[in-house]
Chains A and B, each alone.
Chain A
Amino acid sequence: MIPIEYFLALGAILFIIGAYGVLTKRNAIVVLMSIELMLNAANINFVAFSSFYGDVRGQIFALFSIAVAAAEVAVGLAILLALSKTRDTINLDEISLLRW
């Protein structure tokens, strides 16, 4: 039996890598991928605790989370597609319409 701390550490590492990607990458596709990493970090935690407590609800939530992530990616990619069509870029630094 692998102690739960290992899973949590893995989740934390994944989350931090994802957050780092979201904050630093300029390419919107990469940012979307980083968000997926963060979501999966959460999923790992769900499943780890589910196994640790012997409670199946964590696994159900992980499934929900995967489904929501898939939908989110679909919406996100659609927005990016529209963006690249109209503004001819997906560089986040150049997309700063909502400012002063």
Chain B
Amino acid sequence: MQPIEFAWLIPVFPLVAAIAIGLFGKKLKEGGGYVAVVAAIASLAITAAVVVQVLDGSFDSADGVMDGVFEQSQMWLTLTDSYSFEVGIYIDQLTALMLVVVSLVSTLVIVYSLAYMGGEGERKRRYYTEISLFVGVMLGLVLANNYLELFIFWELVGLCSYLLIGFWYHKPSAASAAKKAFIVTRVGDIMFMIGLIILFTTFKTLNFRDLFEIEASGTDLSLLTIGTIMIFGGAIGKSAQFPLHDWLPDAMEGPTTVSALIHAATMVKAGVYLVARSFPLFVQTPETLLVVAIIGGVTAFMAATMALNNPNIKRVLAYSTISQLGYMMLALGAGGYLFFHTQHAEGYTSSMFHLMNHAFFKALLFLCAGSVIHAVHTEDMRLMGGLNRKMKITSFTMLIGALSISGIPPFSGFWSKDEVLATVWEAGDLSWVFVLLYFLGIATAFMTAFYMFRLWFMTFTGKPSVASDHAHESPRVMTYPLILLAILAAGSFLVLFVGGGFGGQVFFEEPHSLAPAEVLTATFAEPITYLSIIVAICGVGLAYAVYYRKSISSDVFVSTKASRTMYDVLIKRYGFAAAYDAFAEKVVYGFSKLVDLFDIYVIDGIVNGFAFIFARSGNIIRRLQTGQVQLYAAIVIAGISIVFILLYLVGGLR
């Protein structure tokens, strides 16, 4: 037996833990927190064994097909001979990458939760049940071998997200944020489902392996474009891309650990994962890839602008998450477009590299923010300040995270962001759209550096405020995960220099492994690399000048009328929150009212009309019943006579 054959156990441990904690959590220590940690570590251990096998390619594929994919499956539903569904696991390098990210980050976050959620009392049981359930279904989502299975887990992570955002459901804001997250992502899910129906009816299968070979099968591909766009619709909802991005900032109503795990490191990556998983389909439809790239670029830019002036530490990070997810989508779109025209798919690799780095540094940033919130009991950055002396570990690890996300070399965020931008720049040769998107990306990089360091300076430097007076460093259960994540956030770029590099393992169609020296020349020989470094440093510098040296007053952003308007527009999120409400109120509710009127007047009208006609006609006809026996007898005799006369006339009696 080889370790990879036990891969199906990876999601099973957290799921069993969820059931156990749900049933017996009250009697367990810490509301079952330790059980959740043990289950997550067990998954992590199996993941590690599986990943080692995937990396050296030493496994025997279960079905004898040698294409670097390990697949085990079981027939589940047979509709007819040609329509059937499977359950199974599908492991390639992409799956392995996601498994590592999900199980590693979730283990650290659950460990961190032991301290962060320590004061929740009875509610801890619910928290650990839901978070274990989430880890299980997220791992299941990653392992699925067909779209139906993926879709089921996709909905389940949405459910867990709903439950955990609404963890403090007694707060009305949390309850409505949970509903908003669920309903807004549902819009995308419906599109995803339509996409799946299109694929299933066209290609008669939802298995990844069969679908990825349809190009060769000679089936008519004309429906593929609309199918892939619909699937991308699912990704838009789940990964909070424009125009369905507005639920993610509200999702910050949940506990910070939930924001770190679900709304930064894992679940929101499911959309990116979906596009990456469907890449063999997407690369056949350049129109869809263009849509993916444009949505990604616009999202990255818009979300970054909204992060610029938000006073809430978690919301800044939420906008930053949306923005970075936009980068990943942009890279996938541009990379796929390049592949369609030139057969090079470095964009796929760079997107996945950014996904991995982002999972580490964004989980780090959120957990640092959680540590700060734990200490000062507020999320408003204006009430913080001067914390770097009191919370040395948190402030230092958060600085690493901020440097990494800002793209300052040599931290890992720099390498992946640079690769993303390089891909987009390269795609600029094919279409002017990508040149535009490249400059959006550069502007985003500048803003990212600015708002991250605005956050850092506002929180950790300056004069201590009332809230930070009695702040103290968090317990070790919380700081150790921070330190581990900081090491990963700073050093995960080292995978570029090990073996064949990241591109030698996570790739599409062709591995592009580079020797360490080649990586360095490929990065630093390009002039555009220096452009992204310069804008990042400019962003940090501006934040330094405004929020540390205070040599530029932050009032400049609101001093003139135009900038004041701009400021208000950003605080109001470009009116998206209001637009959602207006859309729901006017369009959806109006349509429902219209349907209601149709129901009242047309449907009920028809039913009541029939009832009225029959009641009225019955009222008339009942007068035939006179009660006179002789009249009845006369009618019977007349009837029989008529029958006989007719029979005689037509000849039946002759």
Given contacts A19-B637, A22-B633, A23-B634, contact A96 B622 (CB under 8 A): no
CB distance from A59 to the nearest CB of B (A): 26
**A88 on interface, CB distance cutoff 8 Å:** no
CB distance from B12 to the nearest CB of A (A): 73
**B651 on interface, CB distance cutoff 8 Å:** no
Q: Would you call B626 and A96 a contact (CB within 8 A)?
A: yes
Considering the chains assembled together, what is the distance between the CA atoms of A97 and B630 in angstroms?
Answer: 13
Considering the chains assembled together, what is the distance between the CA atoms of A76 and B124 in angstroms?
Answer: 87
Q: Would you call A23 and B627 a contact (CB within 8 A)?
A: no
Considering the chains assembled together, what is the distance between the CA atoms of A55 and B622 in angstroms?
Answer: 49
- The residue from A22, A99, A100 contacting B630, defined by CB atoms under 8 A apart: A22
B 614-654 binary contact with A (CB < 8 Å = 1; else 0) = 00000000110111111001100100000000000000000
Q: Would you call B637 and A96 a contact (CB within 8 A)?
A: no
Q: Would you call B627 and A96 a contact (CB within 8 A)?
A: yes
Q: What residues make up the interface of B, taking CB atoms closer than 8 Å to A? A: 622-623, 625-630, 633-634, 637
**A4 on interface, CB distance cutoff 8 Å:** no
Complex: chain A residue closest to B628, CB-CB: A96
CB distance from A80 to the nearest CB of B (A): 13
Give the contacts of A35-68 with B (CB-CB under 8 A).
none
Q: Would you call B628 and A23 a contact (CB within 8 A)?
A: no
Q: What residues make up the interface of A, taking CB atoms closer than 8 Å to B? A: 19, 22-24, 31, 92-93, 95-100
Q: Would you call B637 and A99 a contact (CB within 8 A)?
A: no
- Chain B residues with Cβ below 8 Å from A95 are 629
Q: Would you call B629 and A92 a contact (CB within 8 A)?
A: yes
Complex: chain B residue closest to A96, CB-CB: B627
Considering the chains assembled together, what is the distance between the CA atoms of A99 and B629 in angstroms?
Answer: 10
CB distance from B615 to the nearest CB of A (A): 14
Interface of B is mostly: helix
Q: Would you call A99 and B625 a contact (CB within 8 A)?
A: yes
CB distance from A12 to the nearest CB of B (A): 12
6 extra interface residue pairs, beta carbon distance < 8 Å, beyond A19-B637, A23-B633, A99-B627? A24-B630, A92-B630, A93-B628, A96-B626, A97-B627, A100-B623
Considering the chains assembled together, what is the distance between the CA atoms of A44 and B481 in angstroms?
Answer: 114
26 contacts between A and B (CB under 8 A): A19-B637, A22-B630, A22-B633, A23-B630, A23-B633, A23-B634, A23-B637, A24-B630, A31-B630, A92-B628, A93-B628, A95-B629, A96-B626, A96-B627, A96-B628, A97-B627, A98-B625, A98-B627, A99-B625, A99-B626, A99-B627, A99-B628, A100-B622, A100-B623, A100-B625, A100-B627
CB distance from A74 to the nearest CB of B (A): 19
- Chain A residues with Cβ below 8 Å from B626 are 96, 99
For the complex of A and B, the 3 pairs showing the least CB-CB separation, nearest first, are: A99-B627, A96-B627, A100-B622
Considering the chains assembled together, what is the distance between the CA atoms of A68 and B7 in angstroms?
Answer: 89
Considering the chains assembled together, what is the distance between the CA atoms of A19 and B630 in angstroms?
Answer: 10
- Report which residue of B623, B630, B634 has the largest number of chain A beta carbons within 10 angstroms of its beta carbon: B630
Considering the chains assembled together, what is the distance between the CA atoms of A75 and B40 in angstroms?
Answer: 91
Considering the chains assembled together, what is the distance between the CA atoms of A96 and B630 in angstroms?
Answer: 10
Considering the chains assembled together, what is the distance between the CA atoms of A97 and B634 in angstroms?
Answer: 18
CB distance from B15 to the nearest CB of A (A): 69
- Chain A residues with Cβ below 8 Å from B634 are 23
Considering the chains assembled together, what is the distance between the CA atoms of A98 and B633 in angstroms?
Answer: 14
- Chain A residues with Cβ below 8 Å from B637 are 19, 23
Considering the chains assembled together, what is the distance between the CA atoms of A12 and B627 in angstroms?
Answer: 29
- Chain B residues with Cβ below 8 Å from A97 are 627
Considering the chains assembled together, what is the distance between the CA atoms of A24 and B633 in angstroms?
Answer: 10
Considering the chains assembled together, what is the distance between the CA atoms of A97 and B637 in angstroms?
Answer: 22
- Chain A residues with Cβ below 8 Å from B625 are 98-100
CB distance from A97 to the nearest CB of B (A): 6
Complex: chain A residue closest to B641, CB-CB: A19
- Chain B residues with Cβ below 8 Å from A98 are 625, 627
- Chain A residues with Cβ below 8 Å from B629 are 92, 95
- Chain B residues with Cβ below 8 Å from A19 are 637
- Chain A residues with Cβ below 8 Å from B633 are 22-23
Complex: chain B residue closest to A25, CB-CB: B630
Complex: chain B residue closest to A93, CB-CB: B628
- Chain A residues with Cβ below 8 Å from B628 are 92-93, 96, 99
- Chain B residues with Cβ below 8 Å from A22 are 630, 633
Considering the chains assembled together, what is the distance between the CA atoms of A23 and B637 in angstroms?
Answer: 10
Considering the chains assembled together, what is the distance between the CA atoms of A22 and B629 in angstroms?
Answer: 10
